[in-house]
């Protein structure tokens, strides 16, 4: 029986490159070979396959020789550690912040999230760490920016708590005045002054656009609203004071009206018109007839 003979495959065809895009499943496997995960410290690293890790041998401790300046440092750590974890160990030795370090392996900078074993680091490997001034400057700027944000957050929180306390006092005054009660004017003015002090503090807080600026504007509007309310209450309180002063005067006037009028005492005056008016002829004749005529005795010589 004659069997079929296989035609030889050309070597060029056997070694020909086949693009991965023609095999979607294979491409997906490559893309998902090393997914990312976040470590408890907040570092983003490549996620290992739990099945392959369980099947593989336990991670061994390796010794690395790291050069910094003219000195060499021996670092012992797990082969499955990341370069970021290596930087933390180096920071304890050389006193350089991990974010300011640039770790070089085989003349190539390694990312902090990359694993040592995946990058080819083995026991006895030599690495070089150098100081990165640009990263230090960036880190310091970020620290100052964060410190500024923390300070602004703390200030706004303190002002908010103080305004909450003053708001309670404003509500109490509003209830008293609304019910017709009268409060001391100095109490209203004192509250207005305290609120204006908080408004000045808010104006002195320098924040960029974002949530803090929104919180600052909310508190500014809140304080302005309370100040306007106190201005209205101050006017109402003054009107109540004037009304309360006028009511006793009106009541006294009404009581005086209700009292009976006092008796009127008149004096009878006698007129003596006859002493000042000229006598009439009839009166004169009557007087003449009644007055005796003087009698004169004449003597003859």
Return the closest-CA partner of residue 237 out of 142, 145, 170. 170
Taking the chain, what is the end-to-end CA distance rounded to the nearest angstrom? Answer: 238
- Per-residue pLDDT at 166 exceeds 90: yes
Could you give the CA distance from residue 10 to residue 31 in angstroms, rounded to a whole number?
31
Residue of 274 and 48 predicted with greater confidence? 48
Domains plus CATH for the chain?
A: 36-131 (3.10.20.90), 139-246 (1.20.58.120)
Instruction: Tell me the pLDDT band of 240, cut-offs 50, 70 and 90.
Output: confident
pTM above 0.75, yes or no: no
Helices (runs of H) and strands (runs of E) counted in the chain = 9, 6
Residues whose CB is less than 8 angstroms from the CB of residue 127 and which lie 6 or more positions away in sequence, other chains included: 64, 65, 66, 67, 86, 103, 104, 105, 121
Q: Considering only 40-49, 126-135, 237-246, 286-295, which range has the smallest mean pLDDT?
A: 286-295
């Amino acid at each position: 029986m004659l069997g079929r003979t296989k035609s030889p495959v050309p070597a060029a065809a056997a070694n020909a490159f086949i693009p991965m895009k023609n095999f979607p499943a294979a491409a997906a496997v490559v893309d998902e070979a090393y997914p990312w995960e976040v470590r408890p410290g907040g570092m983003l690293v490549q996620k290992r396959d739990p099945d392959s890790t369980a099947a593989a041998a336990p991670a061994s401790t390796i010794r690395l020789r790291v050069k910094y300046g003219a000195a060499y440092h021996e670092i012992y750590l797990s082969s499955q550690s990341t370069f970021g974890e290596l930087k933390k160990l180096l920071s304890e030795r050389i006193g350089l912040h991990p974010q300011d370090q640039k770790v070089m392996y085989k003349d190539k900078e390694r990312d902090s999230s990359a694993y040592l074993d995946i990058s080819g680091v083995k026991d006895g490997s030599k690495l070089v760490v150098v100081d990165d001034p640009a990263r230090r400057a960036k880190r310091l700027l970020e620290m100052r920016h964060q410190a500024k944000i923390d300070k602004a957050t703390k200030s706004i929180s303190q002002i908010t708590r103080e305004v909450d306390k003053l708001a309670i006092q404003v509500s109490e005054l509003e209830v008293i005045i609304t019910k017709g009660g009268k409060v001391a004017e100095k109490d209203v003015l004192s509250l207005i002054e305290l609120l204006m002090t908080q408004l000045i503090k808010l104006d002195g807080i320098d924040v960029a656009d974002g949530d803090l600026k929104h919180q600052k504007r909310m508190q500014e509007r809140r304080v302005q609203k309370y100040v306007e309310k106190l201005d209205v209450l101050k006017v109402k309180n003054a009107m109540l004071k004037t009304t309360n002063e006028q009511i006793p005067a009106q009541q006294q006037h009404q009581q005086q009206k209700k009292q009976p009028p006092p008796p009127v005492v008149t004096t009878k005056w006698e007129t003596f018109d006859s002493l000042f008016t000229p006598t009439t002829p009839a009166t004169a004749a009557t007087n003449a007839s009644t007055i005796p005529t003087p009698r004169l005795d004449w003597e003859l010589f």
